[in-house]
């Protein structure tokens, strides 16, 4: 069950990478960070451990919120996929501290908290994501997954 959930989260997260990039399309950079490029190649090759290393380096070297947020969010996704849930939470927390309205980081941090068994923390992050982007189906799917997993309807409780 966790394995199939991970695959959905990875696919959704990697899809969000492109959505995030599109949402910041008005910003033009003439030089791409080489670590981001290497990380993307590693993801395509299926080497998520190496991808996490490159995204981590990129998070320390990129400048500007428009570039940093997608890097941190993707690092969170990759660390989650690697089973490094604490590292995933750390990356998403950095993204949230950079931009409190970055709903994707709340969603992904909630997924990592859920994987660690922190259901209340997960619900809190899912609800923040839902408040920031009420139209996203991803948050509703995450909350529905919690209901199925625990039998508790978090949407009604929180």
pTM for the whole structure? 0.77
Nearest Cα neighbor of 142 from 81, 121, 95, 23 is 121
Give dist(CA 111, CA 126) in Å, integer: 8
Residues 68/88, Cβ–Cβ less than 8 Å: no
DSSP 42: H
- pLDDT confidence bin for 147, thresholds 50/70/90: confident
CATH of 2-157, one of 1.25.40.10, 1.10.150.650, 3.30.1390.20, 1.10.10.10: 1.25.40.10
The length of the chain is: 158
> Which sequence spans correspond to the domains of the chain?
2-157
- Helix or strand (DSSP H, E) at 70: helix 65-81
Handedness of CA 120, 121, 126, 130 (dihedral sign): positive
89-109 residue pLDDT tens: 999 999 999 999 999 999 999
What is residue 6's predicted lDDT score, i.e. its pLDDT? Answer: 53
Asked whether 126 and 107 are in contact (CB, 8 A), the reply is yes
């Amino acid at each position: 069950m966790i394995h199939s959930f991970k695959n959905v989260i990875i696919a959704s997260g990697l899809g969000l990478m492109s959505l995030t990039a599109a949402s910041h399309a008005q910003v033009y950079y003439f030089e791409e960070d080489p670590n981001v490029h290497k990380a993307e190649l590693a993801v395509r090759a299926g080497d998520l451990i190496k991808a996490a290393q490159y995204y981590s380096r990129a998070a320390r070297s990129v400048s500007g919120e428009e570039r940093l947020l997608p890097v941190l969010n993707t690092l969170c996704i990759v660390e989650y996929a690697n089973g490094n849930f604490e590292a995933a939470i750390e990356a998403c927390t950095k993204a949230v501290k950079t931009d409190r309205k970055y709903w994707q980081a709340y969603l992904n941090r909630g997924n990592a908290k859920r994987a660690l068994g922190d259901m209340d923390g997960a619900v809190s992050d899912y609800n923040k994501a839902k408040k920031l982007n009420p139209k996203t189906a991803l948050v509703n799917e995450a909350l529905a997954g919690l209901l199925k997993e625990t039998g508790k309807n978090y949407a009604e409780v929180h």
